[in-house]
């Protein structure tokens, strides 16, 4: 003998049975949820610190290479390409590590020192064009690159505005 089970669930019951995401997910909300989920679940802060510092080392090593190339007015194209590529990877890793730390350690709080670092990152990104196109000012680019790096590190350790 088969028993027919009829249920007349109130909307509250159906909501508790069906996970809330089925009730009213906005696409943006679920993308945000999964992005945050990825940051939180798969990468811990130590990995972000390592990515961040690796990015910084790559950027300053490559800028040194490109400044030396310009200073010597050497038209070595493969050196320019290699330096540009490594600097690009470095800038990306700085950002990946930085945003990961921002999400994991600072709950995406945009403190003034974080905004300062992002401004420095943008200036650093633009500086590569000047290093390649204005070789006569190589010495200036050397000190500017050092100054930007030191200011970013200072912002990380002294956290102005926090
Ligand atoms: C522009 C080049 C940058 C350099 C040279 C730089 C350098 C550093 C250094 C040296 C640290 C300290 C690491 C440690 O204590 O082990 C640090 C930490 C950090 N950086 Fe950057 N950074 C840069 C850009 C950025 C950007 C663009 C962001 C944000 C998107 C960012 C976010 C952070 C955060 C959140 C921390 C962790 C601070 C802490 O936990 O005390 N950084 N950065």
What's the predicted TM-score (pTM) here?
0.77
Ligand 1 within 6 A of CB of 97: no
pLDDT tens per residue, range 106-147:
888 999 999 999 999 999 999 999 999 898 899 999 999 999
Q: What span, in angstroms and rounded, lies between the C-alpha atoms of 145 and 131?
A: 10
Q: Where are the domains of the chain?
A: 1-43, 44-158
How many residues appear in the chain?
Answer: 162
The alpha carbon torsion through 125, 72, 57, 82 (nearest 10 deg) reads: 70
pLDDT tens per residue, range 83-94:
999 999 999 999
Scanning the structure block, which residue is given the tokens 């989920």? 37
Q: Residue 114 Cα, ligand 1 centroid: separation in angstroms?
A: 8
Q: What span, in angstroms and rounded, lies between the C-alpha atoms of 146 and 124?
A: 10
Ligand 1 within 6 A of CB of 95: yes
């Amino acid at each position: 003998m088969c028993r027919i089970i009829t249920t007349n669930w109130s909307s509250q019951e159906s909501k508790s049975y069906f996970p809330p995401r089925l009730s009213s997910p906005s696409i943006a909300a679920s993308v945000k949820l999964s992005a945050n989920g990825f940051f939180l679940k798969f990468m811990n802060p130590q990995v972000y610190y390592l990515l961040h510092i690796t990015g910084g080392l790559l950027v300053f090593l490559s800028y040194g290479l490109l400044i030396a190339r310009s200073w010597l007015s050497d038209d070595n194209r493969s050196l320019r390409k290699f330096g540009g590529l490594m600097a690009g990877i470095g800038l990306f890793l700085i950002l990946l590590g930085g945003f990961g730390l921002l999400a994991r350690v600072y709950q995406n709080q945009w403190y003034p020192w974080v905004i300062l670092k992002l401004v420095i990152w943008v200036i650093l990104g633009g500086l590569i064009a000047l290093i390649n196109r204005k070789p006569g000012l190589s010495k200036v680019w050397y000190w500017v690159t050092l100054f930007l790096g030191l200011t970013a590190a200072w912002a990380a350790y002294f956290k102005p505005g926090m």
